[in-house]
Amino acid sequence: MYRRCRVCEGELREFVDLGRQPTANGFLRPEETDGEYFFRLAAGICTDCAMAQLLDEVPQERRYHGGYRYHASGSAGHRKHFEENALRLLETELTGPDPFIVEIGCNDGVMLSTIARAGVRHLGVEPSTNVAELARARGVDVLTEFFDERTAAGIRSRHGAADVVFGANTICHIAHAASLLRGVDALLAPGGVFVFEEPYLGTITERTAFDQIYDEHVFYFSVTSVRAMAERHGFELVDAERIPLHGGEIRYTLARPGARVPSHAVQELLAEERERGLSDPATLGRFRDRVERVRKDLVTLLRDLRAQGKRVVGYGAPGKSTTVTNYCGIGPDLVPFVCDSTPSKQGHLVPGSHLPVLPPEAFSDPYPDYALLFAWNHADEIMAKERAFRQGGGRWILYVPEVRIV
């Protein structure tokens, strides 16, 4: 267990404990449940630099491999978001005579495929070989490695300096933060930028989105903690922008000191975090209390519905569903199955809680009385698609920020 901050070696103070948990994307076949891997999922905050992070850590080789099941292109909203990201970078940053962009954790090429189509030099660094293959099939150049300072030095010597280093929902996955930032430093051109968008501690605590906490998310960034981390490694935080992805994230832009004029948004968000007391023990204690409340309410509701003979099924099996089902002790006795459109999850079980994952067709065959929406960050997209379920009398159960039926 970590007692010292991975960024600054300061003291870590625990603020939430979600108990014994498997790896969130470790979907397994019914015959593979013996010897399933578990660890204690608990997060703490650094009393010096305010970086929130996991106390225990799952080795990265256990998280990213040939069977990695998160496909970034799985949702239409995500595809649109990343295409817009790519177009924006092409317009604002990749404008020189022969620009070069590196993406850390390019997944299935959801962002870089647009860059590749524009004919711009690029390289995705992606340790999970199966999703890297999908990216290659979209015309994206991929290096199947973990990103660290050694990988970065190799890229620099082969391809030259990068104008942009980009990451989306991957930078917070990398436990070796110091090596990562030294790598970005080695790779980035003097006027280049390091842009990354990640889950926001402020959203997680404000919305009680505790299911964003799982093994892959080693860090829970805030503007305060990212600025401290940037300065420690010779960078300046020059922009911070709220984006709606995954329920509310922040896109950070780091540059070399003096290379860019910092935006007002950085100071505004820093002031907002101070006012809210985002890193204060009292704020984090209230978050923990609300998390426990959600568990009690959700389990009570599911037991009541079962007692009334109602049928409840799960909708969507994102990594988040592992956290909530294991933390709340929701097994197939309460939710007999969950449907998900990702083919590689179908026929498998949700890690730890062992809810069977069925294809989307199972949802309407016949419709259940209630659907527990695990993929709540796609609620609008899903509810629009499943209008017939609601019109036929079906009801959605949501649990973020609190348990409710809609």
- Point out which residues bind Zn ion (CB under 5 A): 5, 7-8, 10, 46, 48-49, 51
Can you give the C-alpha Rg of the chain in angstroms? 21
The residue (of 48 and 241) whose beta carbon lies closer to Zn ion is 48
Q: What is the smallest separation between the CB atom of 7 and Zn ion, expressed in angstroms? A: 5
Q: What is the smallest separation between the CB atom of 265 and Zn ion, expressed in angstroms? A: 23
CA distance to 9, 156, 289, 313, per residue, from 199 (Å): 23, 29, 21, 27
DSSP state of 172: G
For residue 258, the tally of other CB atoms under 10 A from its CB is: 7
The residue (of 51 and 125) whose beta carbon lies closer to Zn ion is 51
Q: Is 30 exposed, middle or buried (0-12, 13-18, 19+ CB in 10 A)?
A: exposed
Cis peptide upstream of residue 401 (ω within 30 degrees of 0): yes
Q: What is the smallest separation between the CB atom of 96 and Zn ion, expressed in angstroms? A: 36
Q: What is the smallest separation between the CB atom of 51 and Zn ion, expressed in angstroms? A: 5
The residue (of 252 and 374) whose beta carbon lies closer to Zn ion is 252
Q: What is the smallest separation between the CB atom of 18 and Zn ion, expressed in angstroms? A: 22
C-beta separation of 372 from 315 below 8 A:
yes
List beta partners, residue 243: 249
Q: What is the smallest separation between the CB atom of 232 and Zn ion, expressed in angstroms? A: 9
C-beta separation of 236 from 255 below 8 A:
yes
The residue (of 9 and 289) whose beta carbon lies closer to Zn ion is 9
SS3 45: strand
Q: Helix 319-328 vs helix 281-307: angle between axes, to the nearest 10 degrees? A: 80
The residue (of 16 and 110) whose beta carbon lies closer to Zn ion is 16
Q: What is the smallest separation between the CB atom of 224 and Zn ion, expressed in angstroms? A: 11
The residue (of 5 and 164) whose beta carbon lies closer to Zn ion is 5
Q: Helix 223-232 vs helix 264-276: angle between axes, to the nearest 10 degrees? A: 120
Compute the distance between CA of residue 110 and CA of residue 335 in angstroms, rounded to an integer: 32
The residue (of 162 and 174) whose beta carbon lies closer to Zn ion is 174
Compute the distance between CA of residue 194 and CA of residue 111 in angstroms, rounded to an integer: 15
The residue (of 202 and 356) whose beta carbon lies closer to Zn ion is 202
DSSP state of 371: E
Q: What is the smallest separation between the CB atom of 40 and Zn ion, expressed in angstroms? A: 21
The residue (of 2 and 39) whose beta carbon lies closer to Zn ion is 2
SS3 192: strand
The residue (of 46 and 355) whose beta carbon lies closer to Zn ion is 46
Q: What is the smallest separation between the CB atom of 228 and Zn ion, expressed in angstroms? A: 7
The residue (of 5 and 238) whose beta carbon lies closer to Zn ion is 5
Q: What is the smallest separation between the CB atom of 327 and Zn ion, expressed in angstroms? A: 26
C-beta separation of 345 from 357 below 8 A:
yes
C-beta separation of 279 from 15 below 8 A:
no
Compute the distance between CA of residue 313 and CA of residue 310 in angstroms, rounded to an integer: 10
C-beta separation of 233 from 255 below 8 A:
no
Strand (E) or helix (H) holding 149: helix 149-159
Would you state the structure tokens that stand for residue 161, as one six-digit string?
A: 């300096």
CA distance to 180, 312, 316, 327, per residue, from 320 (Å): 25, 18, 10, 11
Q: What is the smallest separation between the CB atom of 233 and Zn ion, expressed in angstroms? A: 13
